[in-house]
């Protein structure tokens, strides 16, 4: 007997539910599902779906990227009962910290779904152009998931074929180099096929620009400077991205998937189960929206707040510093009541029901990658100054000029911190520039960060069930 199942596709701009008449879920198999174009599109939807999970960009990724850096810290009268958050904050985490298992499992779920699409969709009789694009989207997402894993954990099991049984699942870790080869191949395959842009219900899908931007980030991470600058320039030359006039415009709900949005986690509030958590979880518990108190996740450090120039227009968009005299008033027990403000959704009626997309790559990130890569090739490049000064001028800051190569390097890293704060980049930037330890010491010398912390531990549960896995050094 058939039943009606409602699919809310993350790829449809999150504007409506698609109603499909399908077999009961218990009877779905690859053999009876991959029959037509609707099946193919639904399968690709499941590849994107982990992005909005609380185990990825719904929560875990921004907690991991912020609370393990100098941008956010519990303490000073603020506390959380969530031990994994405390462990990330204080660098007391272990392989048993549940955050890592959650992220690992969800990421590999996305990879296996991508592998299944890549294996099954080519055999479907359907429009060939659409078929090719859907496979390219799956490759893009597989590249994205592996890029996430290799940056956080180092070499990981590399599985690029569909898992069809429980046999031979004990896969050993591939080398970092081999994982990166696959990431580069997937993004390269995707960029040759994906369209430059979408309209209407397709907004939010992976694009040619997104694939190129991630390739630029891969090359930047690997310090392949000429490749990084060239790929970033290709994104710039597409002519589909630009800066909003005002920094705050990038975070307006009306501008989701707008001209700064190279790739975004899609979200939709309104009680349909696809809302974002940022607007509620990052807001403090004494600041209520529609009667709902926040949780105060990612509490901003005084170190970050003071990194902004007083005239920097980005500061008061990104952060809100409360006090005992503000409305709402902060409790006197909190020493520095500063919280993330850029993801506020005043229409949300629940902390997990915001309509804020998460900006995984925003166009200023591309510009700053371009500037950094050019500077590493030669100091004093006019184009590198031009793109950084565009971003600074929008923030109300004067031009940079006459810096040494080292000074410009420091200036770009600071601009990345200020422009992209709480957008999931800080830990990655500190790790790839080898500044994680020094940055954390400058922010709070009581937090003991060691060389081993440049990689996260392989989750203990994975080690326990897969004897072929070895642990990262020091854990």
**Mean pLDDT computed over every residue of the chain:** 92
* pLDDT of 18 above 50: no
Q: What are phi and psi of 341, to 5 degrees?
A: -125, -10
* pLDDT of 12 above 60: no
Segment 312-317 shows an average pLDDT of: 98
Secondary structure of residue 296 in the 3-state scheme: coil
Parse the chain into domains and list their residue ranges. 278-340
* pLDDT of 31 above 80: no
Q: Which of 133, 240, 224, 135 is nearest to 184 (CA)?
A: 224
Q: What is the pLDDT of residue 32?
A: 73
How far is residue 112's CA from residue 342's CA, in Å, rounded to a whole number? 34
182 CB neighbour count, 10 Å cutoff: 19
Q: What is the pLDDT of residue 22?
A: 40
Angle between helices 208-221 and 176-191 (to 10 degrees): 160
pLDDT higher at 79 or 115: 115
pLDDT digits (tens, 9 = 90+) for 336-395: 999 999 999 999 999 999 999 999 999 999 999 999 999 999 999 999 999 999 999 999
Q: What are phi and psi of 321, to 5 degrees?
A: -95, 110
Q: What is the pLDDT of residue 14?
A: 30
Residue 69 Rama label (left phi>0; alpha psi -120 to 50; beta)? beta
Segment 73-89 shows an average pLDDT of: 93
Q: What is the pLDDT of residue 30?
A: 65
Q: What is the pLDDT of residue 28?
A: 55
Q: What is the pLDDT of residue 183?
A: 98
* pLDDT of 71 above 50: yes
How far is residue 65's CA from residue 90's CA, in Å, rounded to a whole number? 13
Residue 93 in contact with residue 457, Cβ under 8 Å?
yes
pLDDT band at 220 (very low <50, low <70, confident <90, very high): very high
How far is residue 189's CA from residue 132's CA, in Å, rounded to a whole number? 11
Q: What is the pLDDT of residue 169?
A: 76
Secondary structure of residue 403 in the 3-state scheme: coil
Q: Tokens 């040494």 correspond to what residue?
A: 404
Q: What is the pLDDT of residue 161?
A: 93
pLDDT band at 11 (very low <50, low <70, confident <90, very high): very low
Q: What is the pLDDT of residue 27?
A: 52
pLDDT digits (tens, 9 = 90+) for 161-195: 988 766 777 899 999 999 999 999 999 999 999 99
pLDDT digits (tens, 9 = 90+) for 140-152: 999 999 999 999 9
Distances (CA, A) of 196 to 41, 121, 133, 203, 237: 19, 22, 12, 11, 11
């Amino acid at each position: 007997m058939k039943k009606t199942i409602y699919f809310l596709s993350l790829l449809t701009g999150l504007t409506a539910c698609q109603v499909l008449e399908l077999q009961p879920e218990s009877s779905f198999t690859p053999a009876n599902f991959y029959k037509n174009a609707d099946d193919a599109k639904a399968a690709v939807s499941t590849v994107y779906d982990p992005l909005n999970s609380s185990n990825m960009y719904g929560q875990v990724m921004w907690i991991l990227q912020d609370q393990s850096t100098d941008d956010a810290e519990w303490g000073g009268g603020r506390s959380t009962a969530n031990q994994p958050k405390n462990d990330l904050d204080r660098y007391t985490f272990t392989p048993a910290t549940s955050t890592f298992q959650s992220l690992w499992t969800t990421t590999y779920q996305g990879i296996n779904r991508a592998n299944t699409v890549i294996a099954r969709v080519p055999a479907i009789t359907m429009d060939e152009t659409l078929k090719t694009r859907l496979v390219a989207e799956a490759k893009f997402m597989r590249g994205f998931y592996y890029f996430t894993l290799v940056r956080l954990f180092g070499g990981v099991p590399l599985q690029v074929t569909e898992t069809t049984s429980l046999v031979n699942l004990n896969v050993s870790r591939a080398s970092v180099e081999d994982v990166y080869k696959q990431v580069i191949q997937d993004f390269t395959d995707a960029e040759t096929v994906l369209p430059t842009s979408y309209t209407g219900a397709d907004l939010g899908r992976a694009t040619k620009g997104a694939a190129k931007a991630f390739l630029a980030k891969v090359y930047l991470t690997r310090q392949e400077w000429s490749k990084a600058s060239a790929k970033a320039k290709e994104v710039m030359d597409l002519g589909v991205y630009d800066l909003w006039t005002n920094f705050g415009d990038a975070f307006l709900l009306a501008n989701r998937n707008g001209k700064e949005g190279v790739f975004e986690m899609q979200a939709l509030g309104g009680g349909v189960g696809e809302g974002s958590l940022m607007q509620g979880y990052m807001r403090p518990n004494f600041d209520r929206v529609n009667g709902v108190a926040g949780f105060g996740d990612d509490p901003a450090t005084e170190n970050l707040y003071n990194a902004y120039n007083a005239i920097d227009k980005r500061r008061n968009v990104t952060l809100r510093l409360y006090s005992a005299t503000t409305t709402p008033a902060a409790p006197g027990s909190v020493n520095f009541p500063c919280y993330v403000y850029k993801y506020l959704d005043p229409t949300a009626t629940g902390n997990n029901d915001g309509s804020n997309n998460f900006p995984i790559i925003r166009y200023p990130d591309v510009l700053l990658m371009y500037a950094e890569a050019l500077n590493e090739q030669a100091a004093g490049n006019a184009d590198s100054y031009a793109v950084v000064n565009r971003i600074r001028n929008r923030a109300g800051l004067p031009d940079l000029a006459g810096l040494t190569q080292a000074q410009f390097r420091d200036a770009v890293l600071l601009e990345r911190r200020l422009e992209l704060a709480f957008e999931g980049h800080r830990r990655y930037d500190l790790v790839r520039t080898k500044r994680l330890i020094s940055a954390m010491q400058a922010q709070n010398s009581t937090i003991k960060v060691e060389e081993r912390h440049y990689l996260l531990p392989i989750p203990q549960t994975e080690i326990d069930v897969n004897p072929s896995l070895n642990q990262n050094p020091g854990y």
